[in-house]
Amino acid sequence: MLAQALDLLRCPVCAGQLLESDGALRCPSGHSFDIARQGYVNLVPGAGDSAGMVEARQEFLAAGHYRRLAEELAKEATAVGAPGVVLDVGAGTGHYLARVLDARPERVGLALDTSSAALRRAVRAHPRAAAAGADAWKPLPLRDEVAALILSVFAPRNGLLSVPDEKADRLDEQLAPNFELSGRRTVEHSMFLAREEAAQLVRMGPSAWHVDEQTVAERLALLPDPLTVTASVTLSRYLTLPS
């Protein structure tokens, strides 16, 4: 899929066109980006999530704990009629992108993430998905007007970190110059997690950078097994404003 995604990408250094040559993507100015043997390209290298975090996320999502959210995202995607690709910014393993592509068989997808470990998963998440390394905090290495739908699911933050009460208002303000809120709703359901699954939930997000495995195990040992928790996600939909 990377060859088909070349028309979507641009050089992150000079914004020039990228072409594939000798196992790399190159622009006319001579900037070069190696294609990994797994089939993804890292245009903006960064540390990103570790292999352990990505593995925990893969196992947790594969168990279906966030299936309800994936289904709701797929429903939202069916209402988009504009031409273009499905872009997932901070895609992680590509789990949500794959569910959306399942719902839109005429679309192709592009997963962006800073983590090489995540990109190795994302490039295999769906036959119609390509993957590239990019930093959500920086200008994306993409050409203009290539995306019909942009996903941002638990990115760039995820996990057990606190969520400020004013987060939704702040997000609306940040996007206001180019996007208008068209809908917001809560997706909520109960999850019944075995102790190891609860540990995966901690390890798969940024909390993994702040607590060690022993501390997690000690705290989880004090909780019931299985543990009942509520997943509550705010799903916001934005439309682009006329330029």
The 10s digit of each residue's pLDDT in 115-166 is 999 999 999 999 999 999 998 888 899 999 999 999 999 987 656 666 777 8
Residue 239 phi, psi dihedral angles, 5° rounding: -115, 145
Amino acid (1-letter code) at residue 38? Q
Structure tokens at 159: 């996990």
Distance between CA atoms of residues 84 and 4, nearest Å: 13
pLDDT bracket for residue 226 (50, 70, 90): very high
Structure tokens at 196: 């190891």
The 10s digit of each residue's pLDDT in 25-62 is 999 999 999 999 999 999 986 678 899 999 999 999 99
Entry pTM? 0.91
pLDDT of 237: 95
Which domains, from first to last, does the chain contain? 2-181 (3.40.50.150)
pLDDT of 160: 61
